[in-house]
Chain A
Amino acid sequence: MVPLSAYLAVAAILFTIGVFGVLFKRNSIIVLLSIELMLNAANINLVAFSKFGIYPDTAGQIFSLFVIAVAAVEAAVGLAILILYFRNRGTININEMDIMKR
């Protein structure tokens, strides 16, 4: 019987790596990918609690479904924006996207 904490630990590790990727990678697509990683970690948590929690309930899995849907949507729109940006500026290096400083 794998304990609950093991699943949670895995999710925590994935989340941490995802955070680091968001903060550190230069390519914006990898940033988006790291965001997806974080969402996956959250999903693992949800499903684990849906099985092992105090009141085991399939609601966790249903919620995960929605998370996946929204994540897909967000990835698609994000990618579209990135492609547009690349077309206009020629770079997707996140360090060079600093128009917000004005």
Chain B
Amino acid sequence: MYMYNLAWIVPLLPLISFVLLVAFGNRLKERAAYLGIFFILGSFVLSTIIFTQKYLQKGEDYLFTFRWFRAGDSDYGIAGGSIFNLGFEVTELNALMLFVVTAISLAVFVYSIGYMRGDERLPVFYSYLSLFAFSMLGLVISPNLFQAFICWELVGATSFLLIGFYFYKESAKVAAKKAFLVTRLADLGILIGILLLFWQVGSFEYRDIFAAVEGGALAPWFITLTAILIFIGAAGKSGQFPFHVWLPDAMEGPTPVSALIHAATMVAAGVYLVARLFPLFAASTVALLVVAIVGAFTAIFAATIALTQNDIKRVLAYSTVSQLGYMMLALGSLGYIAGVFHLFTHAFFKALLFLAAGSVIHAVGTQNIKEMGGIGSQMKLTRAVFLIGALAISGFPLLSGFFSKDQILMAAYGSGNTFLFWMSLLTAVLTAFYMFRLYFLTFGGKVRTAISAHESPRSMTIPMAVLAFFAVFAGYIEFFGFGEWITAGGTIAQEISGPVWIMIGSIAVALLGIGLAWYVYGRDADATLAKAPKPAPLYKLLYNKYYVDELYDTAIVKPYTLFGKFLILFDKYVIEGMVQLAVHISVGLGRFGARLQSGQIQAYMLVTVLGIATLLISLAVRGLFN
């Protein structure tokens, strides 16, 4: 008894939760959390069932659509030739995403009970989280680009709400605006891409688009163009260069938000979309190359910046950007399986890392790792799970990250982009290094902070432990036929098999990175910090994020603001001026008219005489005197 036809309930439950929380949240106060958790638990259970059922029965997708409104007809009739359809479908990719999103959401929901305790806007927080869950899940089960775009924008809007949750902080407001504006700018690409596709294909449905691609109905340059445009939008959401600037600033939001949105779900939406439209991308080698290059570049770019950051959340943010670059690299190298696999594992260990960081911040009160240190002994569980996460992301053997990263490297090597392959290998070293720098500075050494750290409450530690479990064991899904399963829908993918030395190489670089970090920071963190040299130019460059933000500010923001100011002046003087002109004319006419009625008798008589004169002249001219 398959439950695919109930998949629409999965996004619906968080939506109901949102409505209820908005209506009754104020009255529930602290208990609002339990309401949110109740509904998301229901979603999780249902999506687990669907996932396991789909895993055992691959190949047949379930689709259900209905017409939303009619506005013209299309040749492709899913629901009677209509264009604007809504619905849902259950494919292998969808089922996987449903499981991941609901699992992480559940973990974050439970975690937030402890983290956000005492915040008087707790019901609001849970309502935003529920709305976000709804939009992300809606995006994931969309059967067509139309519904996907609606949910895409909803995801952006809810992330804006969540990033700017501490709206009384100026930095949070600015960060929320920045996130929304940058992703909105990137969304221009995806919108144009969707419109172009619709123009040529005549339908928004994924099926119809893939059929058109395979049938050769679209010109090659057209496929390349639309694929790149859609990738621009995906790059914005996933924080790829040059749209990465919003992600680090988005750390202004509460840490559970960072875990949910910027580790596991929203940023994965870009990767998900590229994966979902893989047949479109696969049909154009140029597009694939663009995706791979951007991904690889972003990976190493973000990794270098992460080396120098001192804010624990920012290091993790750049790490996210870097890992997403890895996924894009994989997809661009036709490594569909590798990319999706890494998406799966990354969600778990990155969320874990963020939650652990949140636990530390909650206990210590600061986010600057230079002010932490030596708290490992007081926060044993947090330290343990953080270590697990760090090992996973570094690709330590037998943990989940190892398997997925290995596949990415093999895909990169196998696709012939050898330069990118070496770049990603280097990135792996850097990843391990900065991750363990973070670990050692935070947990190792002597106590550098004034506040005594304490372990977090169980509401926070239990989700972390569960995620740690997944971070360790999620990779073993490979041995259960993950590769064949995920491509069972007929997606083109490369064979994941490469020379053995790649696997050895990846282990080696991971250990190299960890070892270096231990050498510099692990043995005696305080000494290293003490003899920090004056910042070299390279260090400054990295610390200031390659000055990309400043570049954007001068090149884009300032001219645009200037233009806006010019428009304000234009409005004030030209348009207002015209209105004022009308006013002045009326007033002037009125004043002039008022002067006519001066009370001067001779003026009145003058008017009479002039009138008579005019009459006489007109009579004379008319010739009545003749």
Contacts and interface: CB of A to CB of B under 8 A. Distances in A.
Contacts, number: 27
Contact of A101 (B597, B605, B606, B609): B597
B598 interface: yes
Given A19-B609, A23-B609, A94 B602 contact: yes
Contact of A98 (B599, B606, B609): B599
A63 interface: no
Contact of B598 (A22, A31, A98): A98
24 contacts: A22-B602, A22-B605, A23-B602, A23-B606, A23-B609, A24-B602, A31-B602, A94-B600, A94-B601, A94-B602, A95-B600, A95-B602, A97-B599, A97-B601, A98-B598, A98-B599, A98-B600, A99-B599, A100-B599, A100-B601, A101-B597, A101-B598, A101-B599, A102-B599
B559 to A, nearest CB: 58
Nearest to B594: A101
B605 A23 contact: yes
A95 B238 CA distance: 85
A21 B600 CA distance: 15
Q: Lowest 5 CB-CB distances: which A-B pairs, in order?
A: A101-B599, A98-B599, A100-B599, A23-B606, A101-B598
A29 to B, nearest CB: 14
A47 B549 CA distance: 103
Interface string A71-102: 00000000000000000000000110111111
Contacts of B600: 94-95, 98, 101
A75 B271 CA distance: 106
A94 B601 CA distance: 7
Interface string B593-626: 0000111111001100100000000000000000
Tell me what chain A mostly uses at the interface: helix, strand, loop, or mixed. Answer: helix
Contacts of A99: 599
Interface of B: 597-602, 605-606, 609
Interface of A: 19, 22-24, 31, 94-95, 97-102
Contacts of A97: 599, 601
Contacts of B606: 23
A22 B608 CA distance: 12
A71 B107 CA distance: 112
A57 B600 CA distance: 42
Contacts of A31: 602
A35 B606 CA distance: 14
Contacts of A98: 598-600
Given A95-B600, A98-B600, 10 more contacts: A19-B609, A22-B605, A23-B602, A23-B609, A24-B602, A31-B602, A97-B601, A98-B598, A98-B599, A102-B599
Contacts of B609: 19, 23
Nearest to A98: B599
Contacts of A22: 602, 605
A101 B595 CA distance: 9
A85 to B, nearest CB: 12
Contacts of B602: 22-24, 31, 94-95
Contacts of A101: 597-600
Contacts of A100: 599, 601
A100 B596 CA distance: 12
The winner among A23, A24, A94, A99 for most chain B CB atoms within 10 A is A23
The winner among B597, B598, B601, B605 for most chain A CB atoms within 10 A is B601
B570 to A, nearest CB: 43
Contacts of A102: 599
A23 B598 CA distance: 15
A23 B597 CA distance: 16
Contacts of A23: 602, 605-606, 609
A94 B605 CA distance: 12
A13 to B, nearest CB: 16
A23 B612 CA distance: 14
A102 B606 CA distance: 19
Nearest to A20: B609
A99 to B, nearest CB: 6
